[in-house]
Amino acid sequence: MEVWEGYATDPEIRFKGSSGGAVTAIALFCLQHEQMAGVLHVGANLESPLQNVPFFSKNKEELLARTGSRYSPAAPCEKLKWIEQADSPCVFIGKPCDVAALRKSQSINQTLNDKIGLAVSIFCAGTPTTKGTYDLLATLGVKPQGVSEIRYRGYGWPGKVTVKVKGSDADVHQLSYSECWGKILSNFGQFRCLICPDTTGEFADIACGDPWHRKVEQSQPGYSLVLVRTEKGREILHRAMRLGYVTLAPAHISTLPRSQPALLNGRRTLFGQLLAMHLMRLPTPSFNGFSLIENWHQLKFWNRFRPVLAMLWHTISEKLYRPQKKYLSGTITVNEDFASPAVIKTISREET
């Protein structure tokens, strides 16, 4: 409905946020002026810092502790019951798939539906697996069990990966965002993310991402691209602007594709990928309302066949055409504590 560009007016939120801190600033506005009870979102587990867990933040300090993108598996919906049990409506923050799951839960759970005050999505090109973080740590020469804190972004835009080692405040390892995402984490994508139709939070009230159309100098003050997707989102965002929580200027609708060419290309190739899965008689999701054929036609004629061929190759090389052994076996091994890879527990399929 509307496209805006800007940042959290509070300099601390802007600095610590992944992009311009807009997500955190809007959530804080909801706590302080919209009588919302709390914010369900994810952050690092304090005892096991490589693992992400849900939190129910109730003030600025708690929100600030969970700013920044976590480029590893995270599941805020695990604790939707916290929202159900709250005294008044709440804010939900998650990736586009988290918000899609939230909307499905809302549709079958009236109590939850009544308690969703605002759903905010971050843009998402795909969640790297936990192995991606292990690879990142190996590049930095840090053992997973030695990590006391890991930040993937933020503290400037786009910010650096920062890893602190247990036992010494001075032992800090850093890597630039482009090296971390471009050379390491993007190699650890998950298959389900490869065929995701919604990378910009189409089910959310408000969605935020990076305005990459700007030339970014390392660690400059951040900027957010803010998309209004529902009337509720528009009302809340405008009130947050009026009270000075976010400083935003209207942006042309073309700012979104100019900022996210990779996400747009992903949408354009999706029909070809699904077609290949269908040809291989794989279970293929059906995505309605995403204009997949129209998007596919925006590719040059010969380019339309590349995703088909790439997916056929992927299907064959990964042997996706037959049931995966790991889903059929009787047990599954779970690394319960990401900080100590030695702690492995085997549980039965029924328990899962």
Task: List contacts with ligand FAD (CB under 6 A).
Answer: 17-24, 41-43, 66-71, 74, 76, 93-95, 98, 122-125, 127, 153-154, 208-210, 224, 260, 263
Least Å from the CB of residue 325 to ligand FAD = 27
CB of 200 to ligand FAD, least distance (A): 8
Task: Write down the least CB distance from residue 16 to ligand FAD, Å.
Answer: 7
Closest CB to ligand FAD among residues 74, 308: 74
The CA R_g of the chain, rounded to the nearest whole Å, is 21
CA distance 262 to 244: 32
Least spacing, CB of residue 316 vs ligand FAD, in Å: 28
| φ/ψ of residue 21, rounded to 5 | 75, 15
Nearer to ligand FAD, 204 or 292 (CB): 204
Question: Which of 57/106 has CB closer to ligand FAD?
Answer: 57
Q: Which amino acid is at 280?
A: M
**Percent helix, strand and coil across the chain, each to the nearest 5:** 40, 20, 40
How far apart, in whole angstroms, are the C-alpha atoms of residue 234 and residue 230?
A: 6
Q: Are β-strands 39-44 and 147-151 bridged in parallel, bridged antiparallel, or unpaired?
A: unpaired
Q: Is the peptide bond before 158 cis (omega within 30 degrees of 0)?
A: yes
Shortest Å, Cβ 57 to ligand FAD: 8
CB 254, min distance to ligand FAD, A:
16
CB of 334 to ligand FAD, least distance (A): 20
Supply the minimum distance, in Å, between the C-beta of residue 122 and ligand FAD. 4
Which of 119, 90, 123 has the alpha carbon at shortest distance from 102?
119
Residue among 55 and 296 whose Cβ is closer to ligand FAD: 55
Q: Which is nearer to ligand FAD, 50 or 275 (CB)?
A: 50
Output the smallest distance, CB 152 to ligand FAD, in A: 8
User: Which phi and psi angles does 330 have, rounded to 5°?
Assistant: -75, -25
Amino acid at 294: E
Distance CA 132, CA 147 (A): 15
Nearest CA among 76, 202, 216 for reference residue 153 = 216
Nearer to ligand FAD, 98 or 205 (CB): 98
Whose Cβ is closer to ligand FAD: residue 42's or residue 142's?
A: 42
Cα distance between residue 38 and residue 227, in whole Å: 22
Smaller CB separation from ligand FAD, 143 or 149: 149
Nearer to ligand FAD, 21 or 117 (CB): 21
Alpha helices by DSSP H, listed for 93-129, are 96-108, 110-115
Q: Measure the CA–CA gap between 30 and 90, rounded to whole angstroms.
A: 8
148 is written with which tokens?
Answer: 């006391």
For residue 196, give the nearest of 287, 277, 258 by alpha carbon.
287
